[in-house]
Structure 1
């Protein structure tokens, strides 16, 4: 789980660095033009890392219970739906 979180955080920071390096949406120009631009860029990088890291943790949780050996060859997970009869009592008017 922590490995997924760390990988996601690194991917998010790298993605944020690419966005800043390519000056997408004039983000780098805006940061250079303001006196506290470095703070805004560092918060942006941190929050991108946090978001992508959270997504990776979600992927890790979703993949945790998967067991490929016991999966149904048709693509299901071996669960079978069985109907259960439920008696319904109808009142006469």
Structure 2
């Protein structure tokens, strides 16, 4: 079996195992009365399987993502990066502005 496929299956199985532990804790601590809700149903096995399976999909994806990101090589420390080390100083810029008006509406003259 190729290493990549073995890597994927291993981490997916780890994710499903973590999901099984998570669902077991949900049921043990009876979070939101979930234990009663599942085991008093006539389709409790389907409910329990779906709870484990869908959590397994989420945890397997997270586990595989973490495993892939952990494989990244750390760059060698070659000193400071980003920019050329040139310090820039702010330069004042003059902007011509119109005088402020007292109201938001345009100025109207009274023709009386």
TM-score range, shorter chain: 0.5 to 0.7
- Bigger radius of gyration among the two: 2
2:40 to 26, 33, 36: 33
The Cα RMSD (Å) is 2.4
The one of the two structures with greater contact order (alpha-carbon pairs below 8 A, sep at least 6) is 1
Gaps of 5+ in 2: 1-6, 85-112
Structure 2 match to 1:20: 27
Q: CA deviation at 1:82?
A: 5.5
- Normalised to the residue count of structure 2, the TM-score between the two structures is 0.57
TM-score, normalization by structure 1: 0.67
Between the two proteins, the alignment pairs up a number of residues equal to 77
